Amino acid sequence: MATDASQTLEGIGVSSGVAIGPVVRMADPVRPPADEPSPSDVDEAVTRVRDALDVVATELDRRAALASSDAADILTATAMMARDPSLQASAERRLRDGSGPATAVDDAVEEVCASLEAVGGYLAERVTDLRDVRDRVVAHLLGAPQPGIPAVDRPSVLVAHDLAPADTAGLSRDEILAIVTEAGGPTSHTAILAAQMGLPAVVGIGAGRAELADGVVVAVDGGSGQVLVAPSEAAQADWRQRAEQRAARLSAFSGPGRTSDGVPVSLLANIGTVDDAKAAAEADVEGVGLFRTEFLYLDRSAAPTIAEQTDTYVAVLQAFGTRRVVVRTLDAGADKPLPFVQHGEEENPALGVRGLRLARRSTALLDDQLAALAAAAQQCEADVWVMAPMVATAEEAQWFAARARAAGLPKVGVMVEVPAAALRSGDVLADVDFASIGTNDLTQYTLAADRMLGELAPLLDAWQPSVLDLVAATVAGAGDTRSVGVCGEAAGDPLLALVLVGLGVTSLSMAPTKVPAVRAALALHDHARCAEIAAAARAATSAETARAAVVELLAPEARPLA
Ligand code: PEP
Ligand code: MG
């Protein structure tokens, strides 16, 4: 694309689409200065603190009105904390004792936090929300930008150091046009959520973030990872036109996924919420290949009841009519911590008690989820499949399959995202009906590279021939009776999709926005060519040469997809 702008920044494109708009930066929290002076006029300081608490509460209420129901409940409850008279009284007492305004609020909040923590349970979990109120009030008093997702007065491109999955999930598509982050890797959950929301996103922009000041217009290409700073009118028009041309080319293909010789490859959606489900059900997809249920729990302080979960699953299943919906049981831990499940800090959370390992520790949590899903399946017509995350051994797969079947769920599978499971897929899949390869974690564990680290992006690449070998091993071990799909980010890369299908994968699940390019790539190659493409990729010795070998073998009409 034309890049006649003053500057072009390069990051990692993780959610395709072009967006152009002014930057809004997410500020880091500020702390009260250690030497904050006592107020010269205490009454005036009391009024200032009260006003600051009120401004923050009003802003939280405003955001609640715009948020989805779960996020709205949290924001409303947090606004109520900011209006708590005992908090105001405690801050006032401290001001009269000589503390500066920001220090008074900080100390008052810490006092309330300490008493909540002493009570424990649900109340202790409100401490995080209360500290969020504190950070906002302190920033207001010091005249610093509000921490967290900023309020915007026009649709903007959000620029941050990094974003927590819960922050990303709460973003409003009406307010945020695209995300650009300094840190973050291509398979971080923030990147995945952005793709699911259809929000163009570039991560790992590094020191380039310094160029992105509030209000500067940028053009973001979530496919290539380019960010143009202050593009000219001509460059903006050029970017928009190319994005439209690409969309028009892809819209020529529709319907179920298949290679040019008619071999079916199911094209499925990855979803995380009821809203995602409703949006994905409208798209041209054959169902859901990965319902990440942990996103339902992320911003909660206690597990939802069976009845609540059943309602949620019914809403998701109903959206898809009779289509397939593959539900993954809770995959908490590592970069998706859940306060009510985790027990203490771990040195290496990605290698710790996460995924199915957590379910084995808290079996009630899993059994409740399976019961809720079985109840929902009874009420709906969808073809419900259930699978477990982070399965490493045959014994774990057996354990899960027995529990899921006992709950009344007949179609049971496992995710293959640990190299051990790929290498011994014959054993691991012996007692289940299907496998879904999670290439995000499979790549992380194969290359021993933390998927959260943008710096390790070259290693965290599912084009790595070692990862392709493990996909091939999974398919070989699965035999003819079990289907093997891919639901990691690799499935949404049109060129890599050809490789995966050539290796014997029969379904691909991805953010719905990625489906059209993958459908087009498949429709332009027959299955034998996919097998040839896969062989060429596996014969390479690096991720770059694997991709280059595939580009050489593409049908000419598919080259614009590369
Ligand atoms: C994966 O690891 O590839 C996967 C699909 O699961 P998640 O990204 O949620 O860990
Ligand atoms: Mg995973």
Over residues 480-485, the mean pLDDT reads 95
Tell whether the model's pLDDT for residue 4 goes beyond 60: no
221 pLDDT band, cuts 50/70/90, is very high
State the amino acid at position 80 in one-letter form.
M
d(CA 454, CA 152): 27
Centre of ligand 2 to C-alpha 418, Å, is: 9
Instruction: Report the residue count for the chain.
Output: 562
CB-neighbour burial class of residue 360 (10 A; exposed 0-12, middle 13-18, buried 19+):
middle
Over residues 224-250, the mean pLDDT reads 91
Could you give all domains of the chain from N- to C-terminal order, each with its CATH number? 8-26+148-240 (3.50.30.10), 42-142 (1.10.274.10), 262-561 (3.20.20.60)
Nearest CA to ligand 1 atom 1: 438
Residue pLDDT, tens place only, 382-440: 999 999 999 999 999 999 999 999 999 999 999 999 999 999 999 999 999 999 999 99
H or E element at residue 327: strand 324-328
Q: For residue 348, give the 3-state DSSP assignment.
A: coil
189 catalytic per annotation: yes
> Residue 328: nearest ligand to its CA?
1
Rg (CA), the chain: 25
Residues with CB under 6 A from ligand 1: 192, 290, 292, 331, 417, 438-441, 487-488
487 catalytic per annotation: yes
pLDDT at 414: 98
121 pLDDT band, cuts 50/70/90, is low
Scan for tokens 């084995």, then name that residue: 360
Task: Tell me which of 190, 331, 467 to substitute to probe ligand 1's pocket, judged by most ligand atoms within 8 Å of the beta carbon.
Answer: 331
Q: Which residues contact 19 (CB under 8 A, 6 or more apart)?
A: 157, 177, 178, 200, 219, 220, 222
CB-neighbour burial class of residue 209 (10 A; exposed 0-12, middle 13-18, buried 19+):
buried
> Residue 510: nearest ligand to its CA?
1
Residue/partner pairs of 276-283 with CB below 8 Å, 24 or more apart: 276/196, 276/197, 277/315, 277/316, 277/319, 277/320, 278/319, 279/198, 279/512, 280/319, 280/512, 281/319, 281/320, 281/321, 281/323, 283/512, 283/515
Q: Using an 8 Å Cβ cutoff, are 149 and 168 in contact?
A: no
